[in-house]
Chains A and B, each alone.
Chain A
Amino acid sequence: AQKITQTQPGMFVQEKEAVTLDCTYDTSDQSYGLFWYKQPSSGEMIFLIYQGSYDEQNATEGRYSLNFQKARKSANLVISASQLGDSAMYFCAMREGLAYSGAGSYQLTFGKGTKLSVIP
């Protein structure tokens, strides 16, 4: 079974509108971390936002917020007020286990990504 599922291969959003990119995850660990990365056409992976499994508040970073629903095992990325520069691939990733707790705890598992296109 896939550990990270991103069901939207491609999404379109009008400039200045908000958009939600879906991510569901599968783990039996109580401690884990969830990450979102942006990959523009240049290829570099840019870190956007992090949510720890014990964090009670949804993470926010500027125009990015993470809608974390633990019971549903979902960690959707919300981008508010979309800009043309937001057009890119977006990847959800998970680290299982406590950070720094031993071999393997550093590994990230990535989803296949969602291609976001912002329309002027």
Chain B
Amino acid sequence: DGGITQSPKYLFRKEGQNVTLSCEQNLNHDAMYWYRQDPGQGLRLIYYSQIVNDFQKGDIAEGYSVSREKKESFPLTVTSAQKNPTAFYLCASTGRFQSTDTQYFGPGTRLTVL
């Protein structure tokens, strides 16, 4: 079945460590996104990528980095420069030239800094 997978589901990090969150899609979608959700809040855009080898900063990119070497994959690295990384992270994708530009989401990764 086509869809978006994120791993791991839960991630614990010590302060000062970098961690990488995985996002893979087999929907043949061109664009992929990373969002952060804090308790009681909506989603905020971290980074997005419209095509391979290209990505753009979103509203809260500081302390995060991404790569887009393959169409199917858009990993997010949470660096030690991110001061408050504990949050729920959601990856999404959308295809070009769909009838609507609906974004479809993965199941999310919950990151906790110890």
Chain A residues proximal to chain B, CB less than 8 Å = 4, 33, 35, 37, 42-47, 50, 52, 91, 93, 95, 99-100, 103-108, 110-113
Contacts and interface: CB of A to CB of B under 8 A. Distances in A.
Nearest to A105: B101
A54 to B, nearest CB: 12
B110 interface: yes
B45 interface: yes
8 contacts: A35-B103, A45-B90, A45-B92, A45-B105, A50-B100, A105-B101, A110-B44, A111-B42
A101 to B, nearest CB: 10
Interface residues of B, number: 28
Given A106-B48, A110-B42, A110-B43, A43 B88 contact: yes
B41 interface: yes
A107 B90 contact: no
Interface of B: 31, 33, 40-45, 48, 50, 56, 58, 88, 90, 92, 94, 96-97, 100-108, 110
B45 A107 contact: yes
Contacts of B103: 35, 47, 106, 108
Contacts of B101: 33, 95, 99-100, 105-106
